[in-house]
Amino acid sequence: MEEFYSLLRKYNKTHVNIKFPDWTNIYLDSSPPIYWTVLSKLLKEFSKDSSIFEIGVGAGDILTLIRSIGFTDVKGIECDKQLADFANKKIDYFFQTKQTVINDNYPIYIIKPNILIQVNCVYFDDICNKQEYLELLKTYYQNANPDVYFLEVVDSSFTKVSEIYPEFVRLSENDIKKTFKNKNIVSYYTYQYPQNTSSKRLYVIS
Q: What is the mean pLDDT of the chain?
A: 96
What pLDDT score was predicted for residue 37?
96
What pLDDT score was predicted for residue 114?
98
What pLDDT score was predicted for residue 113?
98
* Cα 134 versus chain centre, distance: 17
End-to-end CA distance of the chain: 27
Q: What is the pLDDT of residues 80-138, one digit of tens each?
A: 999 999 999 999 999 999 999 999 999 999 999 999 999 998 888 888 999 999 999 99
- Going by pLDDT thresholds of 50, 70 and 90, the confidence category of residue 177 is very high
Q: Is it true that the peptide bond before 194 is cis, omega within 30 degrees of 0?
A: yes
What pLDDT score was predicted for residue 21?
87
Mean pLDDT of 19-24: 87
Between 193 and 126, the higher pLDDT residue: 193
What pLDDT score was predicted for residue 123?
82
User: Within 13 A of 164's CA, how many CA atoms are on the CB side?
Assistant: 11
Model pTM score: 0.96
Q: What is the pLDDT of residues 24-65, one digit of tens each?
A: 899 999 999 999 999 999 999 999 999 999 999 999 999 999
d(CA 1, CA 128): 40
d(CA 110, CA 145): 10
- Going by pLDDT thresholds of 50, 70 and 90, the confidence category of residue 163 is confident
**In the predicted model, is pLDDT for residue 151 greater than 80?**
yes
Q: What percentage of the chain exceeds 90 in pLDDT?
A: 89
